[in-house]
């Protein structure tokens, strides 16, 4: 069930299911918290699953302009305070959710017990990539998000998923088309402005699991392996027959990797 929490300047929508140690799920771009349904179904039997719509997405409020990864990380910290989650959480972020997670570590290390980084990157956009994002942001505001859905869906899901799971792709398309165009544009501008965090990696001491879909076309297995090698306490699970959206495309394998990690790093 969706719930809303009102904080200064922002209303965040979230799902809060199960009891126990909190797992905070942070979605990718340009999606919403519904992408984590298979993880919520599985882990809510043993954990408190909190899945948030980031500012500008799903049913959360929208701030037009530019919303940086730092602002989104601040929102998550305020959210945890507002719903009175005491003690550190395990943060599981996918792609843009991962960019937010790096910022969350930097700004709120005391609120973090573990990281699960799915299909994400540590480097910034190239100059050209950032320019393209800014153009995409303006175009989404002018024309709507249909062109973005058409161009992104084949990059988000691997070919086998596109062929065998049409309902999954359709539901992602609906999410993209339902999201606010100003919200999508603001996050795209925020991603274009995000810093390279590679130099932070050796300092991130919390146990970290990296998850990559074998066929991820956005954050490759090789790139995520480089991140894993730079982190002091990391494991890397490559999920077969999945693209960038491994948690949705192969939920059983993804959940098994997360469950193993949670077990190995239990205090």
Interface residues with ligand MLT (CB under 6 A) are 28-29, 95-96, 191, 218, 244
Choose between 25 and 47: whose C-beta lies nearer to ligand MLT. Answer: 25
Query: Given the complex with ligand MLT, which of 129 and 240 has the nearer CB atom?
Result: 129
Q: How far apart are CA 190 and CA 133, in angstroms?
A: 9
- Residue with Cβ nearer ligand MLT (207 or 247): 247
Cα distance between residue 121 and residue 74, in whole Å = 20
Could you tell me if 21 and 47 are in contact, meaning their C-beta atoms sit under 8 angstroms apart?
yes
- Tokens 């303006």 belong to 138
State the nearest-atom distance from the C-beta of 140 to ligand MLT, in Å. 13
Q: Which is nearer to ligand MLT, 118 or 262 (CB)?
A: 118
The CA-based dihedral angle spanning residues 232, 233, 239, 244, taken in that order and rounded to the nearest 10 degrees: -60
CB of 2 to ligand MLT, least distance (A): 21
Shortest separation between residue 219's beta carbon and ligand MLT, angstroms = 8
Least separation in angstroms between residue 143's CB and ligand MLT is 19
What is the C-alpha separation between 64 and 17, in angstroms, rounded?
Answer: 30
The minimum distance between CB 195 and ligand MLT, in angstroms, equals 14
In the bound state with ligand MLT, the residue whose beta carbon lies nearer, of 9 and 154, is 154
Between 44 and 179, CB nearer to ligand MLT = 179
The CB-of-69 to ligand MLT minimum distance in angstroms stands at 11
């Amino acid at each position: 069930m969706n719930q809303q929490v009102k904080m200064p300047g922002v209303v965040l929508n979230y799902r809060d299911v199960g009891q126990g140690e909190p797992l905070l799920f942070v979605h990718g771009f340009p999606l919403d918290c519904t992408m984590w349904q298979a993880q919520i179904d599985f882990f809510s039997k043993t954990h408190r699953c909190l899945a948030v719509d980031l500012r500008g997405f799903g049913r959360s409020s929208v701030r037009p302009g530019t919303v940086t990864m730092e602002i989104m990380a601040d929102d998550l910290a305020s959210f945890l305070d507002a719903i009175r989650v005491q003690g550190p959480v395990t943060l599981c972020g996918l792609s843009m959710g991962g960019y937010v997670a790096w910022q969350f570590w930097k700004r709120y290390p005391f609120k973090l017990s573990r990281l699960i980084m799915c299909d994400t990157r540590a480097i910034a956009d190239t100059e050209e990539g950032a320019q393209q994002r800014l153009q995409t942001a303006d175009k989404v505001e002018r024309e709507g998000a249909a062109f973005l859905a058409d161009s992104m869906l084949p990059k988000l899901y691997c070919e086998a998923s596109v062929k065998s799971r049409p309902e999954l792709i359709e539901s992602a398309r609906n999410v993209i088309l339902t999201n606010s165009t100003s919200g999508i544009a603001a996050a795209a501008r925020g991603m274009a402005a995000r810093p390279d965090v590679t130099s932070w990696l050796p300092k991130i001491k919390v146990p970290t699991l990296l998850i990559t879909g074998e066929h991820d076309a956005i954050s490759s297995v090789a790139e995520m392996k480089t991140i894993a090698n730079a982190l002091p306490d990391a494991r890397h699970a490559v999920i077969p027959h999945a693209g960038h959206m491994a948690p949705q495309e192969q939920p059983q394998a993804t959940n098994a990797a997360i469950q193993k990690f949670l077990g190995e790093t239990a205090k």
